[in-house]
């Protein structure tokens, strides 16, 4: 075992361990509950067109997420290093695959997610504006609001993880309170609620191959709503007692969110018929407006804005650590490796992340159905690398059988086989139902191979040649 491999299994770090279990759970919750539960019910219902399949998509999304966490927890506990999946792939496989995932995260999936959620923050502000003033504001204002959100929260994260941790605690509480209020208000407003909505229609008109494809396509949006559960693994070097707190944060955070999501979707159905949900980008606002009037719509719009605001903050905090970890290993832009001399935060990575997020946001604001398109854009790429990270558990058990594992995946190897099969089927369906955006994402991911060759492979060759010429 090399010295680099040994380092990966230790808790040694140059960063400050300021985050406890509470902060780690808050990060998981804040990272998951963003725009998804307030935005994806519409495309999911539009695709499946029945309440039974609508519920099935959300249940499957939660169960698959829990299975994924079972696998991730083993890796996180044995390798408490910042960078999360990047570190796992680097040690389990060739460093190229770790690099390529990081490249894809930066240019395809993760910064796109930041831009998408920031956009939803602006859209719910637009919903609030409509309630108060009776008309929407234009897309230029929407763009400005989303852009300002990205850069404001980047600035907050420049000043240390402790400050960011306090922000996560606050927004984690707000998120739970917001979703809980939707559930409570919806089910206590008997005069406006209607149990008949759950059966109108209960089942699809026909059970065909297109029905299966519709469910598979809808899973893209369910998975996105549950995405980010691995967020705490990105900042493992800043969490106290990471071998205990990392696995616990995953299970506590995901379990709690799943309960809230199922309750929220049941609340939506109690107050709105399926056809209304399918066409509503602001389903939470519409539900609360029906139940409580304009004041309810205003309150929940503000709450959703706070939720998405907190989610963007969490994403900015967690993901910049990956770019810094890559640069630290000489596999990304060198500028990203530097830490702030006082706060020990990856400020250059944070700024670079915001710059590329600005680029993606600019393209998103121009596109029609930009939110759905962004999810379609990175779903296939993200799925491929999720499959590789799950497989890393098998590779690590073969490669390092004697390394201490504070936590072992439940029901291994059947849990691993099951999650790999599920994700492979999902990948095939995604490529069928969203081919063009998936292809664009995959091509952009593949461009990283060119950078890797010139940055890493040729650089190593030149260094080796220089060493050979030394007297």
Alpha carbons 247 and 252: distance in angstroms, whole number: 9
Report the distance separating Cα 11 and Cα 210, nearest Å: 49
Q: With 0-12 CB in 10 A as exposed, 13-18 as middle and 19+ as buried, what is 190?
A: exposed
Between the alpha carbon of residue 75 and those of residues 120, 340, 399, 450, the distances in Å are 33, 28, 13, 29
Cβ proximity of 316 and 157 under 8 Å? yes
The answer to whether the CB of 33 falls within 8 A of the CB of 175 is: yes
* Six token digits for residue 78: 């044995």
Whole-angstrom distance, CA of residue 338 vs CA of residue 344: 9
DSSP bridge partners of 292: none
Q: For residue 468, what pLDDT is reported?
A: 47
Return per-residue pLDDT of the chain as tens, 471 residues.
554 555 556 555 555 666 778 877 877 877 788 778 999 999 999 999 999 999 999 999 998 988 888 888 888 778 876 667 777 888 899 888 988 988 998 999 889 889 888 988 988 898 899 998 888 888 889 889 999 999 998 988 877 555 555 555 666 677 778 888 899 998 988 778 899 999 888 888 878 888 999 999 999 999 999 987 776 666 666 777 777 777 788 888 888 888 899 999 999 999 999 999 998 888 999 999 998 888 889 988 888 888 888 778 878 877 887 788 778 878 788 888 888 777 677 888 899 999 999 988 888 888 777 788 888 989 999 999 999 999 999 999 999 888 888 778 888 899 899 999 999 999 999 999 999 989 989 999 999 999 888 877 776 666 665 554 444
322 token code pair: 């990956």
Q: Which one of 1.20.1740.10, 3.30.930.10, 1.20.81.30, 1.20.1370.20 gives the CATH number of domain 15-402+420-456?
A: 1.20.1740.10
Which pLDDT value is given to residue 471?
Answer: 44
Instruction: Report if pTM > 0.85.
Output: no
Q: What are the domain boundaries of the chain?
A: 15-402+420-456
Non-local (6+) Cβ contacts of 421 within 8 A are none
The number of residues making up the chain comes to: 471
Is the omega angle on the peptide bond into residue 367 within 30 degrees of 0, that is, cis? no
Q: 246 and 77 in contact (C-beta within 8 Å)?
A: yes
Question: What local confidence, expressed as pLDDT, does residue 170 receive?
Answer: 67
Written as six digits, the tokens of 247 are 């696995």
Q: Are 48 and 277 in contact (CB under 8 A)?
A: no
Q: Give the pLDDT confidence score for residue 242 in this predicted structure.
A: 73
How wide is the angle at C-alpha 250 spanned by C-alphas 249 and 253, nearest 5°? 75
- Residue 233: its pLDDT value, please? 67
Quote the pLDDT of residue 312: 86
Looking at residue 327, its pLDDT comes to 85
């Amino acid at each position: 075992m090399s010295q680099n491999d040994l380092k990966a299994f230790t808790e040694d770090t140059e960063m400050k361990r300021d985050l406890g279990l509470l902060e780690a759970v808050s990060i998981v919750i804040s990272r998951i509950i963003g725009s998804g539960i307030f935005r994806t019910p519409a495309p999911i219902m539009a695709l499946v067109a029945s309440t039974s399949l609508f519920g099935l998509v959300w249940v499957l999304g939660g169960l698959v997420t829990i299975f994924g966490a079972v696998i991730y927890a083993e890796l996180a506990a044995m390798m408490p290093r910042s960078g999360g999946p990047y570190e796992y792939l680097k040690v389990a496989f060739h460093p190229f695959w770790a690099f390529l995932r990081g490249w894809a995260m930066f240019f395809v999936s993760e910064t796109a997610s930041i831009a998408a959620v920031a956009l939803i923050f602006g859209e719910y502000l637009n919903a609030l504006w409509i309630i108060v003033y009776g008309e929407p504001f234009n897309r230029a204002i929407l763009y400005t609001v989303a852009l300002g959100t990205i850069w404001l929260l980047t600035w907050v994260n420049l000043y240390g993880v402790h400050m960011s941790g306090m922000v996560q605690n606050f927004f984690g509480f707000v998120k739970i309170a917001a979703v809980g209020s939707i559930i409570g208000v919806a089910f206590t407003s008997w005069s406006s609620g209607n149990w008949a909505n759950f059966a109108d229609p209960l089942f699809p008109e026909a059970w065909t191959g297109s029905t299966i494809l519709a469910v598979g396509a809808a899973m893209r949006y369910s998975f996105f709503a549950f995405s980010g559960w691995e967020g705490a693994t990105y900042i493992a070097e800043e969490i106290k007692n990471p071998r205990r707190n990392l696995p616990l944060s995953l299970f506590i955070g995901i379990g709690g969110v799943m309960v809230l999501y199922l309750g929220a979707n049941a609340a939506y159905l109690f107050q709105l018929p399926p056809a209304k949900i399918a066409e509503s980008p602001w389903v939470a606002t519409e539900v609360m407006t029906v139940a409580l009037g304009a004041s309810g719509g205003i309150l929940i719009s503000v709450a959703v804005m706070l939720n998405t605001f907190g989610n963007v903050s969490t994403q900015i905090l967690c993901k910049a650590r990956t770019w810094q970890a890559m640069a630290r290993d000489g596999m990304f832009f060198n500028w990203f490796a530097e830490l702030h001399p006082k706060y020990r935060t990856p400020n250059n990575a944070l700024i670079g992340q915001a710059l590329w997020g600005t680029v993606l946001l600019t393209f998103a604001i121009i596109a029609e159905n930009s939110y759905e398109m962004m999810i379609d854009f990175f779903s296939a790429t993200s799925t491929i690398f999720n499959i590789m990270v799950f497989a890393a558990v098998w590779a690590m058990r073969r490669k390092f059988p004697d390394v201490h594992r504070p936590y072992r995946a439940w029901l291994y190897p059947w849990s691993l086989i099951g999650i790999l099969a599920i994700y492979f089927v999902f990948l095939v369906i995604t490529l069928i139902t969203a081919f063009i955006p998936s292809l664009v994402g995959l091509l952009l991911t593949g461009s990283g191979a060119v950078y890797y060759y010139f940055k890493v492979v040729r650089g190593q060759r030149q260094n080796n040649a220089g060493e050979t010429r030394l007297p």
